[in-house]
Amino acid sequence: MAKFLNTSATNYFLEELIKATRERLIIISPFLKFNDRIRELLQDKDRMKIDVRIVYGKSELAPHEINWLRSLPFVRTSFCQNLHAKCYLNERSAIITSMNLYDFSQVNNNEMGVFVDREQEPDLYRETYEEAQRLIRVSEEVRLAAEKVDPPKDEVRESTAESADEKDFDKLTTSRLAKALGMRTGELGDKLLSAGLVERDGEHLKLTAKGKAAGGEFRVSGKFGPYFLWPADVRLG
């Protein structure tokens, strides 16, 4: 029968699930930020030429994550808009959980989940697998592009790619606004927080009423994920 998992058990069974994969691994997690242990396990699966599908949905991948994933030819990444599900499965078992594959969640949050063994719970496993396949089908496979990597402390979880919205030159993404102001993206992110234009909502940022009044916009690209747009003359103080 299915096994209940607390936070530490979820981390343990997730690592064991990845290690035990011999045919195909599916990772579904809105937020992605890989710790060293998960990186080692995924690199090992790539060396074994095992098909790995990763579906994410709440934020564009950080540049250093993009460059690392691009080095793994057997790992394919897809963006699924409005994704909130967290599920990890291989050909033998599945974990349905509240935990993102995000190092902050794995260390700091109180999580719970359920471990499903295919032999013991064939119907539950089948339904989980079929839903995972549906999410893969409706998600858009992302061809990860090389990006210049800044130190992780300077990252903000939003799209830094040039968007079609910028073609009118009315507004800029956070990264482009930072460049125009002669500062780093992380520094500008801190100023936006201090000015009350954005606020933290769990593991990501959201636009405040003050931010909207200042001309800020929240957008979602099917290719790159969520990002903010700002007027070039937005007031930070």
The amino acid sitting at 215 is G
Overall pTM surpassing 0.85 (yes/no): no
Residues 17-56 pLDDT 10s: 999 999 999 999 998 888 889 999 999 999 999 999 999 9
* Spatial separation of the C-alpha atoms in residues 55 and 32, rounded to whole Å: 9
pLDDT of res. 147: 43
Residues 75-116 pLDDT 10s: 999 989 889 999 999 999 999 999 998 876 677 789 999 999
Beta carbons of 24 and 53 less than 8 angstroms apart: yes
- Tell me which residue of 57, 58, 59, 55 sits closest to 26, measured CA to CA: 55
Tokens of 62: 């950080």
